[in-house]
Amino acid sequence: MIHSPVLKKEVLECLAPKPGENFIDCTLGQGGHALAILEKVSPGGKVLGIDADKRQIENCSAAGGNCSKLKIENYKERLILVNDSYVNLKKIVEKYNFYPVNGILLDLGMSSWHLEESGRGFTFLKDEPLDMRYEAEIQDPLDEKSASGRAVSEIQNRLTAERIVNEWTELDIRKILEEYGEERFSKKIVKEIVRTRTIRPIKTTVQLAEIIKRAVPRRYLHQKIHFATRVFQALRIAVNDELNNLKKTLPQAKDILAPGGRMAVISFHSLEDRIVKNFLKEEKQFLTILTGKPVTPTEEEIKNNSRSRSAKMRAAQKLKI
């Protein structure tokens, strides 16, 4: 199933790609935004598509995957695919000599593929291992070979949601649920997590969802937002160090933009949006803010794609000085 990229029309309006220009999609995902930009910069413009998840890069390669249906392969000579984190943005641009950079997009939302096909425990609606790493390769534990050229033991030593709920202190887990998930019942939830893990390890999404269900008030089970949403969100942000990575990436994006170049950031969390908002204000000697208020989806888009409901986009243009 192909999903329409969030705020596609608004992204194109803010970035204003023109024929022959070069753009960077820092969060390639299923390639929807990249394809839309490629069409606008034809015939000579290029897109550098970055994604930390090797599977997403494979999906957008000429060889196959979901994105082949989007006909991205028709643009493969003008599309550079890079399996890396956007936190290494400057190094990536230097390595591929990708200049000038006329525009940069950061879509901080989790892709539909991660929820529906990755099998990494991003959703409480499926029974999956509590992993939540964007770049992880799910493997048979008996397989001593690495899917990405690294030893299995090295991959398993990386932080996962399972390690957080089973190994972190009660205070530390509560802190991320409150800070990253703004979870009002964090104290009760964490106490139930700690109580359960003394009996048996918490290894799956279903286990964790049941723990949350036992901990929260009954009225909380029938809210508009699912009772496990905030906990899963907080764990995902912690596992992937998303807020710190954003703080490290924004200055790099500003620096590599050509004079007159534009950057747009789509966030799905109030903390992310605050980081972007503050950064743009602090860099006003170098950037002109293009969005007085964050751009949000139309009612029609939310109706067609409920996951877009919390999206907020902010954009800026680098001054020609």
Domain ranges of the chain: 8-113+242-318, 122-139+153-240
CATH superfamily of the 8-113+242-318 domain: Vaccinia Virus protein VP39 (3.40.50.150)
Of 36, 25, 124, 40, whose CA–CA distance to 80 is shortest? Answer: 25
Q: What is the pLDDT along the chain (321 residues), one digit of tens a residue?
A: 446 799 999 999 999 999 999 999 999 988 889 999 999 999 999 999 999 888 888 877 754 444 544 466 677 789 999 999 999 999 999 999 999 999 999 999 777 766 777 778 889 889 999 999 987 553 333 333 333 344 333 444 489 999 999 999 999 999 999 999 999 999 999 999 999 999 999 999 999 999 999 999 998 888 878 899 999 999 999 999 999 999 999 999 999 999 999 999 999 999 999 999 999 999 999 999 999 999 999 999 989 888 788 899 999 999 987
Angle at 320 between CA 317 and CA 262, to 5 degrees: 20
How high is the pLDDT of residue 206?
Answer: 96
Contact present, 239 and 164 (Cβ < 8 Å): yes
> Shortest CA distance to 231 belongs to which of 270, 187, 267, 273?
187
3-state secondary structure of 106: strand
| Rounded-to-integer distance, Cα 104 and Cα 316, Å | 10
pLDDT of residue 68: 43
pLDDT of residue 308: 86
Place of tokens 């690495």: 146
Nearest CA to 227 among 243, 239, 209?
A: 209
Whether this model's pTM surpasses 0.85: yes
Please return the burial class of 211, using the count of CB atoms within 10 Å of its CB with bins 0-12, 13-18 and 19+.
buried
Confidence (pLDDT) at 113: 67
Looking at residue 75, its pLDDT comes to 77
Secondary-structure class of domain 122-139+153-240 per CATH: mainly alpha
* C-beta neighbour count of 241 within 10 angstroms: 13
Q: Are 56 and 148 contacting, i.e. CB atoms less than 8 angstroms apart?
A: no
d(CA 217, CA 183): 13
DSSP 132-146: --SS-----TT--S-
The pLDDT of residue 63: 47
End-to-end CA distance of the chain: 45
Q: Please give the Cα distance from 32 to 72 (Å, whole number).
A: 9
Distances (CA, A) of 222 to 196, 219, 282, 319: 24, 6, 41, 49
51: enclosing H helix or E strand: strand 46-51
Residue 258: predicted pLDDT: 98
Q: How far is residue 180 from each of residues 21, 117, 173, 292, measured CA to CA in Å? A: 37, 24, 11, 25
Do domains 8-113+242-318 and 122-139+153-240 share one topology? The answer is no
